Structures are given as C-alpha cells and as structure tokens.
Amino acid sequence: MVRPRSRLFVAAAAAAAAAALVFGALGWFAGRTSSHHDERIILTADFHQGSRDVGDVYAYRGSPPWLSMTVDGATGAERVTCELVGKDGSITRLGTFDLVGGSGSWGAPDRAGLTGMVEARLVGADGQVIATAVFR
C-alpha cells in the first residue's frame, strides 16, 4: 500500500521533471532559432549622425539577399533615401522611407549585391547626407 505522502512526493517529482523537460526543450528551440537567424546576417553596421549612434543596418543572406535598417533619433529630414556606396565610389539607391520624429525602419531586397559595398547612407530630399554606416 502506498502512503498518501509518497503519492504526493511522486506526483511533485513527476511535475518537476515534466517542467524541466518543457523548459529545456523551449530553451533548445530558442537557441537554435536565434543562432540560425544570426548565421544569415552577413554584414552589419551602426548608423551615425556626427558622433551619435542613430540606428543599425543589417544585410541578410538569402534568395534574394535583404537589407534592413532601423533609425532612432536622427534629425534633419522626414523622408530619407537609403544609398549604398561601393569601393569604387559607385552609388546604388535602394529605396526611400519616412522618419517620424527621427525614427523609422525599412527593409528591401538588396538589388545592389553587397559585395564591394563599404557604406550605407541616408540622404534627405535636399541631397544632404543625414547618417552613415560603415560596414565591418
């Protein structure tokens, strides 16, 4: 005959083991998902406006490759164009997006092909460079 205390202990131990398995599986899955996502990043850079960090740009491997960026706290324009600058000085315009209160985000297929690209820049409608990001 099993005592009530023994049953309670067995039930508590089984619940703890089940919780450990669930949390372990979730941790393993989250680790695989984030590391897989990180493997797709091929270039990254911080946007700077003067000495201030005002955002990030990421290039992702894929078919087609993608470029995404976030901007936070930039001043000088409400609408900006993203341009990529090549080692040879060539400029490829990728697209235009709005900044609301100096902040915004944007992403698009990378038609330029990041090979040979050294810098991304955000340019206002008046042609002034608002922020730059040098690829590492």
Sorted by where each begins, the domain ranges of the chain are 41-134
Cβ-in-10-Å burial (0-12, 13-18, 19+) of 73 comes to middle
> What values do phi and psi take at 131, rounded to 5?
-155, 155
Structure tokens at 109: 């297929």
Predicted local confidence at residue 67, as pLDDT: 85
Predicted local confidence at residue 26, as pLDDT: 40
> Which contiguous run of DSSP H or E holds residue 136?
none
Predicted local confidence at residue 109, as pLDDT: 82
Predicted local confidence at residue 46, as pLDDT: 95
Structure confidence by residue, pLDDT tens digits, 5-24: 666 555 544 444 444 443 44
Structure tokens at 91: 């400029």
Predicted local confidence at residue 24, as pLDDT: 44
Residue found under tokens 């730059």:
132
Q: What string of pLDDT tens digits covers the 136 residues of the chain?
A: 556 566 655 554 444 444 444 344 444 444 443 444 456 877 789 999 999 999 999 888 877 788 889 999 999 999 999 998 988 999 988 889 999 999 999 888 876 666 678 999 999 999 999 999 998 7
Predicted local confidence at residue 92, as pLDDT: 87
Give the type of residue at 84.
L
Whether the ω angle into residue 64 lies within 30 degrees of 0, i.e. cis, is yes
Residue (of 134, 49, 46) closest to 84 by Cα position? 134
CATH class name, domain 41-134:
mainly beta
Predicted local confidence at residue 19, as pLDDT: 41
Structure tokens at 126: 């008046």
Predicted local confidence at residue 4, as pLDDT: 58
Helices vs. strands in the chain: H and E counts, helices first: 1, 8
Q: List, in sequence order, every residue forming a beta bridge with 41; answer none if it has no partner.
A: 60
